[in-house]
Amino acid sequence: MNIAVNPVETKHRLSVTIVGAGPYGLAAAAHLRAADVPLRIFGDAVSFWRQNMPVGMKLRSPWAATHIADPFARFTLDDYYRESGALVPKLLPVENFVDYGFWFQQQIAPDLDTRAVRRVEARGDGFRLVLEDGDMFFARRVVMATGLLGHEVRPAQFDGLPRALVSHSCEHTDSDRYRGKRVAVIGRGQSACESAALLHEAGAEVELICRGNLVWNADPGERSALRKAVRRMLGSMLIPPSQVGPFPYSWFNEVPGVLRYLPQAWRDQWNEVNLRATAILWLRPRLQDVPVDHGRTILAARRVGDGIELTLDNGTKNFDHVMLATGYRIDVAKMTILEPALRARIARRDGLPVLNGALESNVPGLHFVGASAVGSFGPLLRFIAGAGFAARRVTRTAAKDLRRGGQLAEPALVAERERQ
């Protein structure tokens, strides 16, 4: 089942370099290789899912929207489970998704280079990438598939407090370490609710603190009898494959190429509606013994001895630990892997890069996929389900380069140009 590495590819002369080996980076590699585009992919396969998700977490996305995209649909979750011989679970554990990601990577990118990319520099009509060991690569195009890590939202009230007392949910993997401790979870989305459930089940004394009421998003198996009957009558007309956002917005979210043509202000409002904090309904029974203090504003937080005191609009509360399940906000300014001069050139809106139809920034050849593309293409690009769309768009443009004979000059020629 392995896809052979393109023999045209050489160590220092590449058409495309992908930075990141999560679902978006791997999907881009699968599509580019199928189009015979020479590439190199750098990263630690599905590292965010492996190192920054809590043990015991279940994926909320529907099965059909959790396959990592390849152009021939040969490496789906179904294929992985069929090959492994394991039973297909009702809810997909994050550990199984990680194993699936490794399996997919071995089929698509067995030559994955796990060295860290330290710097991406604009050089002439392409880019120079400097690796952790000082090695350098030149590429005509760079696909930034670096994901969410480093873009966590940390409310200003918690500035200066040690991570041992105040952590973000992406730093939370082992719930057992909080057994017997009093923990506040801040937030009301899927991450907050699932973190609270896992902590409670591990023996922590948990309280969920949030600005508004919890909003529950039913999965197909939990819908009312009436909705199930309507679903049977109308088939797939009501439920789109990815189920991103509330109906009927969810159907429009399936076509990010169309949403791109909305005026930016409309698209911003659209994203706010479709990406609001919700939790899937199957978590609700697991939280029945977890108190929820909703409608709260956190005015201040300070260290008191070995704990944290929160000043809320209705009084003060003390905890051993505070977990911030406050989500992520992509900001190009935080992408320090990009050299400062390159970062400064990138047009952006509210921190997100402004992208054309090929997910390419105003810097020719520099593409952004995944959550970085939400501002330009809508909510689907925030989820695994959007990886196929992004990969197809990038591949189409890179393949045109090859048809036009658009190859990057040899490194010696690039170096000569830099000296001139």
Q: Could you tell me if 334 and 313 lie in one domain? A: no
Residues 228-242 have a mean pLDDT of: 66
What does pTM read for this prediction?
A: 0.89
Predicted pLDDT at 172: 82
> Do 34 and 55 reside in the same domain of the chain?
yes
The pLDDT value given to residue 234? 55
Q: Which of 266, 290, 324 is the last residue of a domain?
A: 324
Name which residue leads in pLDDT, 286 or 407: 286
204 plus 315 within the same structural domain: yes
- pLDDT attached to residue 255: 97
- Structural domain range at position 112: 13-151+329-419
Listed in sequence order, the DSSP H helices in 219-288 are 225-234, 249-253, 256-259, 264-274
Predicted local confidence at residue 124, as pLDDT? 86
Domain end among 309, 324, 339: 324
Domain identity same for 139 and 162:
no
17 strand-pairing partners: 40, 142
Q: Cα–chain-centroid distance for residue 189?
A: 15
The b/e string for 49-76 (b: 16+ C-beta within 10 A; e otherwise) is bbebbbebbbbbbbbebbbbbbbeeebb
Where does the pLDDT of residue 173 fall: very low under 50, low under 70, confident under 90, or very high at 90 and above?
Answer: confident
Name the average pLDDT for the chain. 90
The number of folded domains in the chain is 2
* 252 located within any domain: no
Tell me: do 107 and 31 sit in the same domain. yes
Measured between alpha carbons, how far is 352 from 333 in angstroms, rounded to an integer?
9
Task: Indicate if 174 and 118 belong to the same structural domain.
Answer: no
Q: Which structure tokens are listed for 204? A: 């922590």
Do 170 and 290 lie in a common domain? yes
356: CATH: 3.50.50.60
Q: What is the pLDDT of residue 403?
A: 81
pLDDT at 402: 82
In tens, the pLDDT along 104-148 reads 999 999 999 999 999 999 998 899 999 999 999 999 999 999 999
Range with the poorest average pLDDT among 81-90, 215-224, 302-311 = 215-224
